[in-house]
Amino acid sequence: MNIFVNKIKYLSIFVFMFLIFLSAIEARNEYFHLKEEGEFSSKKARSLIFLKKYIYIADEKNGLVIIKFMGNSYLKKVSSLNLKGKVYDVAVNGGYAYIASEKEGLIVVDITDNFHPKKIGKRFIKGKIVRVVYNKGYVYIADKNGKVFIVDVKDKFSPKIVGSFFTDAVYDIFVKDKFLYIAAGREGLVIVDISRKDDPKEIGRYSTGEKAKRVTVNGDYAYVNERYHGILILDVSDKAAPSEVGFYKNRSKISNIFVKDDYLYLGDSEGKLIVLDVKDKSFLKTVVEINTGEKIRDIFVEREKIFLAAEKRIKIFRFDFSNE
């Protein structure tokens, strides 16, 4: 009798563990299709944006590079614009590209004709520009030395600096509504009220413990990359008192992050693309993990496409949210 009871007990344990295993497999395969759509050689792409069939690339060596992407692995370079010094970032809005240049500061480029981009304006800014963000008629420029400049670009030919904010270091910025979020190195996350462009004021901060290198915001949550530790998820509904609600630890350094809907996309220094389901902020699930073979410098997601600026090339993947 005891032998029979023991067999039933061990069988129950086995079935229970097997069901857990199946659940884990199902969770990891929420995206069961992930296919490389194409790639394009790039000497040193730093950032990219995809908009209406075109990929706009800030290439450190070649300036602004524009590629036409029609799907089915069709990638064709249509133009480029060489600029002085290194190029670090690009933002695009309404037929214009805003470029962060090492030697010229902010450059405004007319891209209404993608085959013939034209430089039409600039604002010299001394420093090491690492990020440029467009939002509602203004461009926000992050200088790694600890400055964020607010530039009025309504007049594309003559951009004007209308405000600035200073902190110890600026590695990344994100603008949402009337707030500026700064990944400020050892100062962590700094939140700034920019409702008055000429007088931005700090209203909150969160100490991350290690250097905050990247920040992105979705809804009431900020995702902050501690370069050596992982991703902090902060509830920023109360801007004056952000609070930690989740954390993701990666095995290697995370180089870039992108969030869209309920998914967080990570690129790391070893070339891995990792996609996390962040619906439950306290329990993040890895749903995709692939090795691209090169360090990932930037990520952009549009509908079913993932665009990566890798060390020596642009890579495009297609994914599917369904389980069908």
Spans in the chain with pLDDT lower than 50: 2, 4-5, 7, 14-32, 324
Residue 201 lies in a domain: no
CA–CA dist 256, 287 (Å, integer): 18
Q: Residue 5 burial by CB count (10 A; 0-12/13-18/19+): exposed, middle or buried? A: exposed
What per-residue confidence (pLDDT) applies to 229?
Answer: 73
Residue partners of 302: CB distance under 8 A and separation at least 6: 50
What per-residue confidence (pLDDT) applies to 128?
Answer: 85
Query: Cα 161 vs. chain centroid, distance in angstroms?
Result: 25
CA–CA dist 112, 28 (Å, integer): 42
Q: Are 214 and 257 in contact (CB under 8 A)?
A: yes
Residues for the chain: how many in total? Answer: 324
What per-residue confidence (pLDDT) applies to 29?
Answer: 41
Residue 91 lies in a domain: yes
Q: Which residue has the tokens 């992108």?
A: 258
Q: Residue 128 burial by CB count (10 A; 0-12/13-18/19+): exposed, middle or buried? A: middle
Residue 123 lies in a domain: yes
What per-residue confidence (pLDDT) applies to 1?
Answer: 52
Domain of 111, CATH number, reads 2.40.128.630
Residue 221 lies in a domain: no
Q: Beta strand pairing status for 230-235 and 221-226?
A: antiparallel
Residue 79 lies in a domain: yes
What per-residue confidence (pLDDT) applies to 33?
Answer: 66
| Spatial CA neighbour of 37 closest among 322, 258, 323, 319 | 319
Q: Copy the structure tokens of residue 233.
A: 């998820």
Q: Which residue has the tokens 């992930």?
A: 34
What per-residue confidence (pLDDT) applies to 126?
Answer: 85
Residue partners of 113: CB distance under 8 A and separation at least 6: none
Q: Which residue has the tokens 């050689």?
A: 41
pTM: 0.86
What per-residue confidence (pLDDT) applies to 270?
Answer: 85
Q: Is 237 left (phi over 0), alpha (psi -120 to 50) or beta?
A: alpha
Residue 181 lies in a domain: no
Residue 68 lies in a domain: yes
Q: Are 51 and 300 in contact (CB under 8 A)?
A: no
Q: Are 255 and 269 in contact (CB under 8 A)?
A: yes
Domain span including residue 44: 35-166
The backbone torsions φ and ψ at residue 281, rounded to the nearest 5 degrees and listed phi first, read -65, -25
Q: Copy the structure tokens of residue 136.
A: 């509602």
What per-residue confidence (pLDDT) applies to 170?
Answer: 94
DSSP secondary structure code for residue 30 in this structure:
S
What per-residue confidence (pLDDT) applies to 139?
Answer: 97
What per-residue confidence (pLDDT) applies to 257?
Answer: 93
What per-residue confidence (pLDDT) applies to 27?
Answer: 38
**Number of domains forming the structure of the chain:** 1
List, for residues 88-118, the tens digit of each pLDDT value. Answer: 999 999 999 999 988 889 999 999 999 999 9
Q: Residue 276 burial by CB count (10 A; 0-12/13-18/19+): exposed, middle or buried? A: buried
Amino acid 169 reads A
